[in-house]
Structure 1
Amino acid sequence: MTGCSTLSSLNPFGSKDKSSEPAKLVELKGTMAVRTAWKLDLGKARGYQFSPAMAGNTVVVAGADGSIARVEAANGRPLWRIKAPSELTAGVGTDGNVIVVGAADGVLMAFDMDGKALWKTQLSSEILSAPAVGQGVVVARSIDNRIVGIDAATGQKKWTVQRTAPALTLRTAPGMAVYDKDVIIAQPAGKLGAFIMATGAPRWEVEVGTARGATELERVTDLGGAPAIFESDVCAVAYQGRVACYDVASGSPRWTRDLSSTVGVAVDQRFVFAADDKGALSAFNRDGGASAWKNDKLAFRGLSTPVSYGRAVAVGDYEGYIHFLSREDGTFLARAA
């Protein structure tokens, strides 16, 4: 293993420099009505990143203490809730037929849609990224940058791809997204690649971020979050790198813009949204990448991956607030706690 050192997820609140203190929230006269429809407590994330996964009209969620639940998306009514036999570090991956999570001991665990255990498979090291499921294959990545394709029905390994990691990487959870028969994978060293799910053969690979600088820290360019796919575009962003969009089938570049982020992007019909590592939220035109607007009023609030929803783009922060901004001009529409 060549990449043996990691940096914990960058913490914008650990610095004593007043210039990087989180921006204070001001009273907001919202023009968009929002309310909390339901809540479900899964405990603390304990430093790991968990993402809900949609399965039809339901949502599958997981927590670090081993909790896994499937609830109705409309009202949060639990269909079932179970406790995995060990603490979890990654999830959730599902294709509507199987549910997959990663455990602290590097074990990949699969359950059916009723919460019944199906199989376990030991990977080479800790799992931080949510697995991807499609074409009857589960694709998982361990922290040593080994990517494994596993039969979704049996748990048997089908293929393994070992990617060379740089000397220093971020301890984050770069994600994956399924497109047709391929899985698009965000990787260390600024790489974004497409692999055939059935065999693990590479389809294409591009560099979203290029290593620059004299020190290993200056040369870190890991991709943040999961690639976002919309129609024929796939977009991603790199730390100390760029936000960029490519043709999802071929990897041909659409456009790139300088931006540094450790979280993913959102894409819709018109825009690509990205929150940078200083807390500014930016929108770019999906066709061509021209800057549409930038809002820096949430500086150093540890913004999440944005979500495009209706006339708004929503983004969470380190205190648990969800901010709704206009897709068109970036003005604040509402805030929810």
Structure 2
Amino acid sequence: MTIVQSLVTARPRSRKALIALAACATPLVSGCTTLSTWLPSWLTAPPSFSLPWFGQSGPKVGPLPAFDAKATAQLNWQVSLGGSGGAGFAPAVRADAVYAASTDGALVSVDPATGTQRWRSNAGKPLSAGVGADESVLAVGTNKGEVLAFDGSGKPLWQAKVPSEVSGPPKLADGTVIVWSLDGKIFGLSAADGSRKWVYQRATPPLTVRRFAGGIVTRGALFSGTAGGKLLAINLATGALAWEGNVATPKGATELERIADVTSLPVIDERQVCAAAYLGRVACFDALRGTLTWSRDFGSLGGLALDNRYLYLTDDKGAVQALDKATGAS
């Protein structure tokens, strides 16, 4: 598993697992309607073909603009996990350690400065998602809904159960292990013993994009996107919904056309939180009250980035957009 995957891969294939300090989870289409193929962001309508030997010529593709690279990436180290990868996996990067896992149950802790392996363990069963970690606990999940917790040396701490497959890396914050399951539920488990603190659930559309992103935690709140184009702010201590924002509204005659899921992590600064929906919009909300600040018609599977001036996204037409984060202007 090289933890960098392509959005246009037809199907995930097994490969030798390697840790890299970048991760890109590729969403799958899932739901009550079975759709086993990958749904790339550019596939919004069936392609039309024009064959020149039938007397027609297709549109000419313009030249690519010159790209002046400002930096060069350099591989500092890599460590083999020894198993195949999956879209629900990403390294947990902390100042003192990098934790990673693979589908065959392998767990590894690595020194972030040197790449030296500190320890290697095995969960004892196949995994579907991982890794989430804080200063004392790391957590992974299985396709049978099992949540497995280990201490900082890789020793088992506890095991808990949720109703369906764990669909992405758990998130640990303030003594809570946050788990997303494939049926759309979000669970808050005690980091001490795995007991259930709370569960948040809502109705999901018949057809959804399978998401692995999870959410972000700040100021005592969990921000997470959902199927159907919603952004949620949830009280981390109680699981109560603080507010719900509408990123995009499903539209179209078929369930496939109506997919408007938030498939990637939101981004947040001191005032607002922003999210993007597939085949929908990008929208920013007041982080405390949930009121809409602005929105633009840019759909995205690839997620967002934020600096002190701009919100960046890759849209569903393959372009990179830089929007004024205060107004949404291009």
TM-score by length of 2: 0.78
2:123 corresponds to 1:94: no
**Residue in 2 that maps onto 1:45:** 85
SS in 1 for 2:258: coil
TM-aligned CA distance change 1:6 to 1:205, over 3 Å: farther
- 1:29 CA displacement: 6.1
RMSD: 2.7
Cα shift readout 1:198-249 (whole Å, capped 9, x = no counterpart): 2111111111111111111111111011112233322211011111222222
1:238-257 superposed matches below 5 A:
238-257=277-296
Asked if structure 1 preserves the Cα contact closer than 8 Å seen for 2:243 and 2:290, the reply is yes
User: Is 1:30 the counterpart of 2:69 in the alignment?
Assistant: yes
Counterpart of 1:5, as a letter, is: T
Q: TM-score, normalised by structure 1?
A: 0.77
| In 2, Cα distance between equivalents of 1:246 and 1:149 | 24
User: In 2 relative to 1, CA 237–12 (structure 1 residues): closer, same or farther, beyond 3 Å?
Assistant: closer
Q: Which residue number corresponds to residue 235 of structure 1? A: 274
d(CA) in 2 for partners of 1:180, 1:163: 24
Deviation per CA, 1:180-208: give whole Å up to 9, x if none: 21111111100110111121111111111
Counterpart-to-counterpart distance in 1, 2:63 and 2:183 = 39
Q: 1:161 aligns with which of 197, 200, 213?
A: 200
Larger strand proportion, structure 1 or 2? 1
Q: Which runs of 5+ in 1 are unaligned?
A: 292-337
Partner in structure 2 of residue 330 of structure 1: none
Select the structure of larger CA radius of gyration.
2
1:1-337 to 2 correspondence within 5 Å? 4-5=32-33, 7-8=35-36, 9-11=38-40, 30-42=69-81, 43-46=83-86, 48-291=87-330
Of structures 1 and 2, the one with the larger relative CO (CA 8 A, separation 6+) is: 1
Query: Alignment partner of 1:224: what SS?
Result: coil
Separation of aligned partners in 1, 2:186 and 2:102:
23
CA distance in structure 1 between the partners assigned to 2:276 and 2:48 by the alignment = 26
Q: C-alpha distance in 2, partners of 1:284/1:7?
A: 34
Paired with 1:268 and 1:29, the residues of 2 have a C-alpha distance of 21
Contact 1:58–1:73 (CA under 8 A) maintained in structure 2: yes
Question: In 2, Cα distance between the equivalents of 1:38 and 1:26?
Answer: 33
CA separation of 1:200 and 1:29: change in aligned 2, threshold 3 A = closer
Secondary structure of residue in 2 paired with 1:225: coil
Residue 178 (structure 1) shift: 0.6
Q: Distance in 2 between matches of 1:199 and 1:31?
A: 46
Asked if the contact 1:132/1:183 (under 8 Å) is kept, the reply is: no
Residue 109 of structure 1, CA deviation: 1.0
- The amino acid that maps onto 2:257 is E
Deviates more, 1:167-176 or 1:210-219: 167-176
Q: AA paired with 1:122?
A: K
Write the letter of the residue equivalent to 2:264.
Answer: G
Residue 259 of structure 2 aligns with an amino acid whose one-letter code is V
